[in-house]
Chain A
Amino acid sequence: MEKIYTKDLLNEKKLNPKEETISFLLNYSKSVGVVKNKKDRPIMFHLN
């Protein structure tokens, strides 16, 4: 039986995002940290 996503897969072109986007994401990842508050809940912050 044909799976429902087959059509989507066939329509997909092989494309890649820009290198700048990847660099942005890798830098973003390095620029955020996490600390825990008094209630032991994680809080995200941006490093300078």
Chain B
Amino acid sequence: MDGAGGQAHDMPLTATADTRPLLQVRGLSVSFATEGGRVPAVRHADFDIPAGGCVGIVGESGSGKSVTSLAIMGLLAGAARIHAGQILFEGRDLLALPQKEVRRLRGGAISMIFQEPMSSLNPAFTVGDQIMEAIRAHESVGAREARDRTVELLRQVRIPSPERRFDEYPHKLSGGMRQRAMIAMALACNPRLLIADEPTTALDVTVQAQVIELLREIQRERGTAIMLISHNIGLIASLASDIVVMYAGGVVERGPSARIIGNPEHPYTVGLLGAIPRAEPGDRPLVGIDGAVPDLRHLPPGCVFEPRCPFSGPVCRETAPELSPFAPRHAAACHMAPLERVA
């Protein structure tokens, strides 16, 4: 605990008091219409992304992490409805802006990369054409300039011989190269926020590490803020300065990465950390979190994690806990926190 606390001081505090966060998600609630009624996919999510910073959203299936990112991008499909909340980008609420303005921001100031690059690239056009199109959709530049910029982008994402790759179709590229091409396209209009939704999950281990390094470079060198979404808390901690932990549609804990992995206050975060196989000495069983993620149609009345929680008490079955602060920038939604009391 002391070691992790020490690390926290060395970390740059990206959200300084005098600057407004680039993105502020406030009380975001999203539900989906299904045959069995409305299903809450995101419940009152609250978090910030500082300009030029990197925030990781960690969660399992049904946690609402991807729905949150789609809401930010304005890409939620017909069955989804945003009930409440604000998504403030540079202070302006994306949910209240006219469609035309949102469209200009999307792909421009905010862009996104997805898990499966093959399904996000159009197989009928060359990689270069698609990136050029992204540039020209947002800026009035000539074909010549757009082409030069595209080649430069391909070079920046470390695609070898970019002039040649420009004319290749996506199926000719390997999985890692495709994801790089996607990243190049996402960077085409110099976004201030890049949302990366499980960007490495479909990639091989060694290629995954390369893509994470590339994202780190982009954040450092171009000052692009990154919202990194993953089920892998280890991967997130290696890149993000802050972590938001989501469970069953709600934010259960958020804070600086060193705090979250060194001094977690929500039992779910504790369980997630214990579920990662480590190479420590000894032969202890892993910590599986018993049970499964709850059915979003039948959420427990109190704390959504209560049925799986080894620390829960009567209050947890009755009242849903609210996010409350435990340290600077560190908040958790748990009646039992700080967990020292119950450990």
Asked if A and B are interacting partners, one says: no
